[in-house]
Amino acid sequence: MTGYDYDMVVIGSGPAGQRAAVQAAKLGKSVTVVERHAHIGGVMVNTGTIPSKTLREAVMYLTGYRERGIYGESYSVKQDITMRDLLVRTDHVMQHQTDILRHQLLRNRVEVISAEASFIDPHTINLASVDGKSNRTITTDKVLVAVGTSATSPSGMRVDGRRIFLSDDILNIPDLPRSLAIVGAGVIGLEYGSIFATIGIRVTLIDRYPRLLHFVDEEVIDALVYHLRQKRVTLRLNEDVTEIEPFEDSRGERVRIKLASGKLIVSDAALYSIGRTGATSSLRLEAAGLESDERGRLRVDESYQTAAPGIYAAGDVIGFPNLASTSGEQGRLAACHAFGMPSSSFPGHFPYGIYTIPEISMVGKTEEELTENGVPYEVGKAQYREIARGQIIGDDSGLLKLVFDMDTRALLGVHIIGEGASELVHIGQAVIALGGTVDYFVETVFNYPTLAECYKTAALDGINRLAM
């Protein structure tokens, strides 16, 4: 200690804050985590990653989605699925994860303070009690800002949390609508859109861009679009929303959405998913010599240090890629740098998991990136329907694609859509990180029958293309 109350104060208990706090504690530092919400875990546990993915899993089970390839499209575990049905599983997982995170912090001797933090100066932080009745200050050598984000509200448009709501409100909607318009077809909008469409809700996706998820392989996105349309999802791309208003008719309360092109969309409910805003408004950043951008985000360098010495930021509050997995790693690296601990990572090989139905996962370069950079490449593909495991689980539409250097045969990217994509991608991630070639998959032996066999099939397909 150097005269401060703590060596590090972490503001926010999401994946970035939690990993940073544990890492600092393992270095022998005194650490406290300040969380303003009643439950720890941040967006990841309470409104984002865990709830949405558990909601997805509940939908997959109750609708019988995974079995429909075997037993037909009419197969279902439960008819007339309600929001309560979905929340039974979601509430259980959220409570369990909160307990695990709290126990992990406690066993590493990380103090958890329930309060709202704001800067007095770069080393002094005010703590306002959650009930607003008391204040106290603490001092610290280092600070990590890991406050995460909240769903961005549309300007000039009323959000009532019932018929017009944000992604953070999903768990609080009273009942499932018969039709749903989603404004914003980013990752969150697509995930919820495919989830609700799988239940049988008529979904309309509206986005201002002509193409979905520009950072994802185009062939994979084309496959996702096909699946969405098979679920009766209507895509309104390259469109801007000019007005949205609730109204009531003989069918009850509904929502009317007007587009700049003149189109009119009527649905039972509307979900706004137009991005996330950093939850920095109450931090008094100016007192620490910091300022956020127009979306409340903080700028950091390669070590996750802000413009103010000793103050770091990690997680969604620093922007893309806004993934729980990358946020945790950012927090760990920030803590290591703060206390002079050598560390290494593979930031260029972070995997992406997009939990649409079907799910998407990728690591490394896309064909579009390599073409733009003038890198000669070849691809190899494997369809799930070619693999015994694909037939066993009833997924005959999945796809695994390998992208590799045409000259050196070094693996450059892996792109998957289908069951288990977010698990399967880690095999390719390891090979890329270790500088492996596509030949590795040909020469190794995979368990049979597994989806991992897709790697061998795709590798052989790619090598055969070289010989053509």
pLDDT digits (tens, 9 = 90+) for 94-109: 888 888 898 999 999 9
For residues 50 and 332, the model is more confident at 332
pLDDT band at 2 (very low <50, low <70, confident <90, very high): low
Identify which of 49-58, 214-223, 343-352 has the greatest average pLDDT. 214-223
* Top CATH class, 6-151+277-347: alpha beta
- Whole-angstrom distance, CA of residue 220 vs CA of residue 217: 5
Q: What is the pLDDT of residue 44?
A: 64
> Is the confidence at residue 281, as pLDDT, over 50?
yes
The pLDDT > 90 percentage for the chain reads 74
- Whole-angstrom distance, CA of residue 298 vs CA of residue 330: 14
Identify which of 61-65, 151-155, 306-310 has the greatest average pLDDT. 306-310
pLDDT band at 45 (very low <50, low <70, confident <90, very high): low
Give the pLDDT confidence of 355-374 residue by residue, as tens digits: 999 999 999 999 999 999 99
pLDDT band at 43 (very low <50, low <70, confident <90, very high): low
Helix (H) or strand (E) holding 196: helix 187-199
Tell me what the mean pLDDT of segment 79-87 comes to.
Answer: 90
Same fold, 6-151+277-347 and 164-274: yes
Edge-first strand listing for the sheet containing 264-267: 241-249, 252-259, 264-267
Give the pLDDT confidence of 315-355 residue by residue, as tens digits: 999 998 888 888 999 999 999 999 999 887 766 788 999 99
Q: Which fold has domain 164-274?
A: FAD/NAD(P)-binding domain (3.50.50)
- Whole-angstrom distance, CA of residue 108 vs CA of residue 145: 20
Q: CB–CB of 242/260 below 8 Å? A: yes
Give residue limits of the domains in the chain: 6-151+277-347, 164-274, 358-467
Tell me what the mean pLDDT of segment 183-188 comes to.
Answer: 94
Give the pLDDT confidence of 121-144 residue by residue, as tens digits: 999 999 998 777 788 999 999 999
pLDDT band at 458 (very low <50, low <70, confident <90, very high): very high
- Whole-angstrom distance, CA of residue 330 vs CA of residue 314: 6
Q: What is the mean pLDDT of the chain?
A: 92
Q: Which fold has domain 358-467?
A: Enolase-like; domain 1 (3.30.390)
- Whole-angstrom distance, CA of residue 318 vs CA of residue 307: 13
Tell me what the mean pLDDT of segment 53-61 comes to.
Answer: 92
Q: What is the pLDDT of residue 170?
A: 87
pLDDT band at 383 (very low <50, low <70, confident <90, very high): very high
